[in-house]
């Protein structure tokens, strides 16, 4: 199966990115059962980052992070979205097959506008560019969180309209969601997102990591009383790093009434720090070896572009681009 996934370089990667997207992506890659297409979605990131220098730096940092966290360019096609310009051409062509009502019903757009995002066309038409990302490479499976399932449905609707007009050109993609980790909670209990400023960064310093975990919202249960673990933000983040026995041990500590939330936050900080120890070392290596990272990305772009060009030749002919 051909599996495609992308992640915006709109800031430092956080553990929500890792468990909802990167970890499953690496597992898919290493299973050997799938053909993996992985890209850094820098065009998409422009909807939330208008600072050119910042976006450029974030794109490089994201590439280093992907590689440090397990993306293997020998097993996967790994590139930067903007290195394959055909995606923008397809984005425009697909726009001719996208009803306004389809985009007006997009939950993500409404949610972001309600949280203060400017209602620009780029944000509104985000699902069309996402559809171009998916359809350009004949993607069969697209791993997403629950909040992105609607975007895959939109891509399918657009593909169906195009196929109805020109024949069975586009592969109909399917979304894949890991039910148990579909939405990773942030420090405030809402979905972890840079937009909501509730993240815990993967490659944070110990000082920053302590500050971020200390911000996790908890209830006011006194130190000496048992704590409720089921709806606790600290526990719901910590369990991502623990196996079944580790979770059971942490539950016992919650029920004992011998520790306060401050203890559990410190435990979580140490858990995260140790979990990503090896990845931090690799990240530092890639950050200090930019030419090696650039070469990896260019090799991936050549592979992705060869597929994109072949498909666009056929699509241009069908729609009459001279």
Where residue 48 sits, what CATH number does that domain have?
3.40.50.620
Count the domains in the chain.
Answer: 2
Q: Are residues 68 and 210 in the same domain?
A: no
- Average model confidence (pLDDT) for the chain? 93
pLDDT at position 182:
58
Domain of 251, in residue numbers = 194-279
Q: Are residues 174 and 212 in the same domain?
A: no
Instruction: Give a yes or no: residue 284 inside a domain.
Output: no
Q: Are residues 244 and 115 in the same domain?
A: no
56, 161, 194, 197: the catalytic one is 194
What is the pTM assigned to this prediction?
0.87
Query: Is the CB of residue 147 less than 8 Å from the CB of residue 320?
Result: no
Q: Is 83 annotated as a binding residue?
A: no
Q: Is 9 annotated as a binding residue?
A: yes
85, 191, 265, 277: the catalytic one is 191
Q: Are residues 125 and 258 in the same domain?
A: no
pLDDT digits (tens, 9 = 90+) for 285-320: 999 999 999 999 999 999 999 999 999 999 999 999
CA atoms of 205 and 91, how far apart (whole Å): 39
pLDDT at position 227:
95
pLDDT digits (tens, 9 = 90+) for 62-119: 999 999 999 999 999 999 999 999 999 999 999 999 999 999 888 888 878 887 888 8
Q: Is 198 annotated as a binding residue?
A: no
How many alpha carbons fall within 13 Å on the CB side of residue 61?
18
Spatial CB neighbours of 209, under 8 Å, sequence gap ≥ 6: 200, 201, 269, 272, 273
Q: Is 226 annotated as a binding residue?
A: no
Q: Are residues 14 and 140 in the same domain?
A: yes
CA atoms of 43 and 174, how far apart (whole Å): 23
Q: Are residues 303 and 176 in the same domain?
A: yes
112, 227, 239, 269: the catalytic one is 112
Q: Is 191 a catalytic residue?
A: yes
Where residue 263 sits, what CATH number does that domain have?
1.10.240.10
Q: Are residues 247 and 305 in the same domain?
A: no
Q: Is 194 a catalytic residue?
A: yes
Instruction: Give a yes or no: residue 43 inside a domain.
Output: yes
Tally of residues, the chain? 322
pLDDT at position 148:
85
CA atoms of 7 and 21, how far apart (whole Å): 8
Instruction: Give a yes or no: residue 285 inside a domain.
Output: no
Q: Is 133 annotated as a binding residue?
A: yes
Q: Are residues 114 and 198 in the same domain?
A: no
pLDDT tops 90 at residue 147: no
CA atoms of 199 and 221, how far apart (whole Å): 24
Question: 3-state DSSP: the chain helix, strand, coil percent, rounded to 5?
Answer: 60, 10, 30
Q: Which of 96, 95, 117 is nearest to 108 (CA)?
A: 117
Local structure of residue 179 (DSSP, 8 states) = G
Q: Is 99 annotated as a binding residue?
A: no
pLDDT digits (tens, 9 = 90+) for 150-190: 999 999 999 999 999 999 999 999 998 876 665 789 999 99
Q: Are residues 177 and 207 in the same domain?
A: no
CA atoms of 37 and 296, how far apart (whole Å): 14
Local structure of residue 41 (DSSP, 8 states) = -
What is the pLDDT averaged over residues 253-273? 96
Instruction: Give a yes or no: residue 188 inside a domain.
Output: no
pLDDT tops 80 at residue 145: no
Q: Are residues 103 and 14 in the same domain?
A: yes
């Amino acid at each position: 199966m051909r599996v495609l996934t992308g992640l915006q370089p709109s800031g430092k990667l956080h553990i929500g990115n890792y468990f909802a997207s990167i970890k499953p992506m690496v597992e898919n890659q290493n299973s050997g059962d799938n053909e993996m297409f992985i890209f850094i979605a820098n065009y998409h990131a422009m909807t939330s980052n208008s600072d050119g220098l910042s976006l450029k730096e974030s794109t490089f940092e994201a590439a280093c992070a992907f590689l440090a966290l397990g993306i293997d360019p020998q097993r996967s096609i790994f590139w930067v979205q903007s290195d394959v310009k055909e995606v923008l051409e397809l984005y425009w062509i697909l726009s001719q097959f996208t009803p306004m009502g389809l985009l007006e019903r997009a939950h993500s757009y409404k949610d972001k506008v309600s949280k203060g995002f400017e209602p620009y066309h780029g944000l509104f038409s985000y699902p069309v560019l996402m559809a171009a990302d998916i359809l350009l490479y004949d993607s069969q499976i697209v791993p997403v969180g629950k909040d992105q399932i609607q975007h895959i449905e939109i891509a399918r609707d657009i593909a169906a309209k195009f196929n109805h007009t020109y024949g069975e050109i586009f592969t109909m993609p399917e979304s894949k969601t890991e039910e148990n980790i579909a939405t990773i909670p942030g420090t405030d209990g809402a979905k972890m997102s840079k937009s909501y400023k509730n993240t815990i960064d993967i490659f944070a310093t110990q000082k920053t990591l302590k500050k971020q975990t200390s911000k996790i919202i908890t209830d006011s249960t006194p130190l000496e009383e048992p704590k409720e673990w089921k709806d606790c933000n600290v526990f719901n983040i910590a369990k991502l790093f623990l196996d079944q026995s580790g979770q059971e041990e942490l539950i016992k500590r919650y029920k004992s009434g011998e520790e306060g939330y401050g203890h559990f936050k410190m435990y979580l900080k140490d858990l995260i720090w140790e979990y990503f120890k090896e990845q931090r070392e690799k990240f530092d290596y890639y950050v200090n070896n930019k030419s090696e990272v650039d070469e990896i990305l260019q090799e991936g772009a050549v592979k992705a572009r060869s597929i994109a060009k072949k498909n666009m030749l056929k699509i241009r002919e069908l729609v009459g681009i001279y």
